[in-house]
Amino acid sequence: MKFMPTGTIEIDQNSLISAKEFAHEFYKNQESNDFCDDEVDVSSTPKWALQHLDALTKSLKFAGYEVSHESTGGFEFDVNFALVSTCGVESHADELYGECVCLILHNDGLIFKQGREKITAGAGDWFIFNDYKPHQVKSLKSTTALVSVVIPVKKVAQ
């Protein structure tokens, strides 16, 4: 079995608080609409979520990956750095970027699954997945939300 590359970086307290508040509001909005809205919300990435890119880039480099600049054009004003929120989503394939890094900013009980692999990641954990392949996010309890930054990456020739 081929395992997804994973790692961890430190997330500052202010970002943790902001992500928790964002997750709470996202969950309340989903609940008030009887969870009939889109299962995954993709929005522009706030500054508190982007300030960890240097640490993430270094951690990715150690794992043999780098941010894919071919389609993104760099870090500034980049639409490919998406803030992704969900309370759970059934198996699907996005087919947008291929390999992506998912940096968890808040998770209070969701499991990411792709193929046979399952990851229960906390704030600061990251993992690489392929958005062309089916993946899902399942809840471990009733009131859950996950907030992450998803960025296209590519393997670096060694």
| 71 falls within a domain | yes
Q: What are phi and psi of 99, to 5 degrees?
A: -70, 135
Which structural domain range is residue 59 located in? 6-155
Q: Give the rounded percent of residues in the chain with a pLDDT score beyond 90.
A: 56
* Residue 132 confidence (pLDDT): 92
Residue 23's CATH number: 2.60.120.10
- CA–CA gap between residue 113 and residue 119 (Å, rounded): 6
| 94 falls within a domain | yes
* Residue 17 confidence (pLDDT): 96
Give, in order, the Cα–Cα distances in Å from 82 to each of 33, 100, 150, 156: 23, 11, 5, 22
* Sole residue written with tokens 């394939």: 93
Higher pLDDT among residues 46 and 78, named by residue = 46
Select the highest-mean-pLDDT range: 23-37, 66-80, 133-147: 23-37
Whether the predicted model's global pTM rises above the 0.85 cut: yes
- CA–CA gap between residue 37 and residue 154 (Å, rounded): 32
Q: pLDDT tens digit string along 62-114?
A: 999 998 865 443 434 345 678 899 999 999 998 888 899 999 999 998 999 99
Domain count, the chain: 1
